[in-house]
Structure 1
Amino acid sequence: MLADALTPKEMPSSGAGTSYAVGHDIVETKKPLAPFSEAAIATAPFVLPRIPFKVNQYWTFQGQFESPTFPVLAFQLVNMDVYGEFVRLLEKVSPNQAGKLPHDIDAAVKTKGVHKLVRDIREIFVSDPSISDRMLEELKRSSSLSADGKRHGLIQSLVKLYGGSKRRYVNYYGPPRTITTIPYYRALQFGESKDSGKPADLKGKAVFVGLSEKLLAERKDSFYTVFSQANGIFISGVEIAATAFSNMLEDTPVKPIDSRYYILMILIWGILIGVLCRMSSIVVGASVMIGLSVIYLVAAEYQFKTNGTWYPIFIPLFLQSPLGFVGAVLWNYVETNKERQHIRKALAYYVPDEVVDQLAKNIVDIKNSGQMVYGACLFADVAGYTTLSEKMSPQQLSDLMHKYFEATFEPVKKHGGLVVNLKGDSFLAIWKAARAEDGLRRQACLAALDVAKAVHRFNGSYENLNLPTRVGVHSGQIFLGNIGAGDHYEYGPTGDTVNTASRMDGLNKYLGTEVLASEEIVQQVDSVLTREVGKFRLKGKAQPIVVHELLGRMEESDEKQKQACAIFAEALGVFRRQAWDEAKEKFHQAIENSGSDGPARFYIRMCEQYKKTPPEISWEGAIPLEEK
């Protein structure tokens, strides 16, 4: 059997040969010289498609007329001894189609020729594609053929060849010359020689004769393949033909999985990698991706070696796996960042932003964190809250207090304060700095005045509701940090400064005032009009504290207010000299001047009390309070 020559052409030839399009080239087949062509049992071309430059496929049948290629004719010729069994098997599944073929192989070759016979068989399978599957099923049930494994395998290969696709992938066995390659001189050698040894044993072998180049300069019939070497040695066309023949003989062609299963596998693999990496940490996700990729690669290699099944490698392992991992990591990052922002936003309602930052960066021990700072504390609570809570449902009370705190928190925030504690009807706000600052004290005092104004506006928006609010302000050293134990902690200040601010708030109910502040916080605050309302020894405190009432911003005060402050200061001086009657008269003048003066009324009562029961001789003007 001889191969037709292939000559490249720019346009299809109109000569006696047949033209084929191969990639972007057009080639023309030419029969061997007449004496050789007539002597050969058959001739056929072996055109290889370059896609785009690498050869990994070959044609079994070509063109509109399903012309067999060289390896197909060779395979049929080598297996003529099973032709009769092949036709009988076809007759069992399709008697009409089998009737188109001669039963005697010698008659078939003489009357039709090998080329025409192979084309006729191919046409039968093309006209009825189900014949292939039915013949394979019948072959499995045939006990006589199953007993002879070799003949059974050859018939099965023939059925798959005629019923399969006209293009097959080449299952290369290795680099160039993996298939035994014998030089011409050894093939023609009849006896043993010193140089070449024993002659080649060709008995029972299928021999393909052709050019097998070793040097780049000799390259005439060689092709670039997956096994091509860097030194320029490619696989020859004759070795590719022998490889294709061997693939048919052993029934081991490379079989890509069906396109439906291919798409399904790609989808499942992508989803699997994406979900597992999405649900895992970066380290675990990377380990899972690598582990699954190794398992997949081993399984794909095993299937390729054993059945020639070609599973996708590049897309799942080199595209989907890294993209799925990176995508999952980015997704996790985005989701984690969203969660972190939500948590930061939620924590910002409870703790300062700087503490949120420390917690987010894990640079603070929540149990032991804290710092000593200079701070101003503002404590405020609602008078008569208990009575109010008895008259309203819990939901109504909650809605009311929500609006109340919205109104009172706004001035604190406006003046740079931070609400750190909220319980029932009261709240605590702080201003902090590394050391004592006039600006800090001024902001706290202004916030206290604005809280009182906000309460007045809030109460004015309701006809039957009134939430009178008392405010106390004090400054000093505080410890600011997390307080608690076990599994519950709260962020806030601790220390005598906080306690004094709370006591200052409670002092309002005795004096009938709204906003009281310690002398510590009002000193050097010139922008606020204040008046001293006395020296008090608050419950639980050993040292007396000088208390001032915050009356308003200095620029908003008039002469009448300032005159009232002077009258009260004069009365307070008389009180401290223990001139009780004169002091009462002065405090009455203060009431007449202002119309309503809670501290003056308080001192009138104290004058009457001390007149009956004078204080100790060592008394320095400090009034003790036994209740909060």
Structure 2
Amino acid sequence: MKSRSLGLAVATGVLGAVASLLPGVLRLEENIGLDWLFLQRGPQAQPAEVAVVAIDSDSSEALDLHPDPARWSRSLHAELITRLVAAGAAVIAFDLSFDAPREGTQDAELAEAVGRAGNVLLLERLSMDELQLDGGAALVQVEQRTPPIERLERAALATAPFPLPVVPIKVSQFWVFGRAEDDVPTLPAVAVHAYARPVHEELIARIDVARPGAGERLLSVHSHPDPGALVRMMNALRTLFRSDPTLARELLSDLDTTTEPITGVTVAGWRPLLTALVGMLGGDDSRYLDYYGSARAVMTLSYHEVIADGWDSAASSLDGRVVFVGFSEPSAIDQQDTFYTPFSQSTGTNLSGVEIGATAVANMLQMRSVRPLSIPAHLSLVLVWGAALAALLLWLPVSLGLITAAVAGPAYLGVAHLQFDATGLWLPVIVPVLIQLPAAALLAVTLRYAGARAHGEQVGRTLRRYLPSWVTEDASRADGVGASTRVLYGTCLVTDADQYTALSERMSPEALHRLLNDYYAVLFREVERRGGFVADVVGDSMVAVWTSPTPDPAGHEAACTAALAILSSVEEFNAVEDRPDLPTRVGLHAGKVLLGDVGAGSHFEYRAVGDIVNTASRLQGLNKRLGTRALVSTTALRGTPDLAVRPLGRFLLAGKGASLDLNELRGLESSSAQAGELIGRFASALAAFVAQDWDRAEREFEALLERFPDDGPSHFYLVRCREFIASDPGPDWDGTISIEEK
């Protein structure tokens, strides 16, 4: 009995450890456990470091402006900046996009106000490029940063992105520095760095003391106050702290004991400010938000209140604050650009993006955040708690054990609440109270009421089989589709075999199967030799991809040389006697690509998804019209100077919004004088065609065809010349050839 009790005690601890590692349980801890801790703690004191100027419907009505704030005059924003500066705002951060110019003097007035203020941060808009699964369900969104118009970008103290979801979901964390390989500081982080400008030189001096020589390098960046200098300084500091993980701890330890500044900085509260700056620069890329409460928990002024003629800037309480300007509505009915928080359900209102930004800044300046336990500490806690709880319940009589279980849960929750309230420490709630406690009670009751030894052993074995199985199934469901999904830069190669349809009609399935296997063995070999992988095969078409985290000329070259090798190998393949020919065409394009699970129900496939796959397929098909065998976009040729190509002009493919510069892939450096002649004379004829010199272009293409009668692109453009001679495309035509058929 003692050995069994010990084993079950350990099993309860292990159960908690295993459950704590499951994605589904982790989501429950965040969405239920953390929310419960926030609600028990309740609203916090309004942070004195930040404020929000809310662009809302009340302001639209009060100022008689268009209901869509995006259409408001930028001159009004210029006036707002002037008033905020007069009120003493330390930093002004606009959570608004200014990436398109306006008519009249609006942009000039806003740029002048921004430059005159010297403390204005502007938003870099994140555009979302959706990559979709079959059926149209959006799987992932790729972000692209677009800065404000050049005039405003030059005038601003800095520009930065503020990554938030594009759909109203729950937000528990914020980015300090950018996601994945993009380490760009975000708008809240730049706001903190700008707010801490009075202590920048003190920070550099202390770094130089801790790491002699490092301060001098930082001063070289700090001493150039041109546009972008603030972000460059942040990046230099971030690089230093990342490369030297102990530096932040040393500086923070020194600040705990120091009383005098090195540089003679006189700003009040310089030590807490410098501590917050070091904590941000040396901390994690992302952090959990420590919410102060529901909507409007941060000091909020309506836009029209600040713009009003009678507004008293001296009494506004904005002096020394970071002021965020953006969309924010007090009413749940009018809310847009909002996100669920732990307080949403109880109040019926969500938090706006601009309030999340202000909350993030206040968190960093106050050195407060929700601090989850480290993984080792988390696992140790649930192991010890589970084992101790189970041992106690197994040792006590059943009735007393059940009373203990009834008390243990609330006691643990009380300790978790006190720790969260006092220090922001986030102790796990779901696993200890809702998984381990019921499991321990169940084990205790089961053992106590087991009649016979054999029956008790069977119950124990059944429980040990059941619980791990249940946990495993839950983990499988929680993991779900897309767990291994990645968005990368890729070069895509698509092939297609001509005459396949005719072959499939006259060959038996068995013979066609053997032919295709032999054919694909040739293609796969050339792809794998050059580091690519085959992402999809459908009938006679293959999709291969070369991926890297960032654009990589080596991937471009590998894909192009693989295409050339495929064409050469297929020629040898087709030369075998009594084997049907499979003439092959190739298309190549490069860009963002998603690799992940595609499917539903019980069937999934790992595939490449994205526009580059579709575009490469279109290029492969365009070979038919141009009489070529390998077409490659200029994007997929970057960094491949040794490849011999023939530029074929700009094309707008069917269904596409942007045109592409296309090239015929001909080989490595051309050793044939004849090939060089063809490329040179074709370039001259194409230049005449683009210049709308139709007669000259017609003559040159005709001459080319006399010299090279089988040249498909020359045939194609000669036909186009004659079409345009008959019907001129007009002076606005830019040389782009529109392809209507897919």
Q: Which one has more relative contact order, counting CA pairs under 8 Å at least 6 apart?
A: 2
TM-score, normalized by length of structure 2? 0.41
Structure with the greater alpha carbon radius of gyration: 1
Return the TM-score normalized by structure 1. 0.48
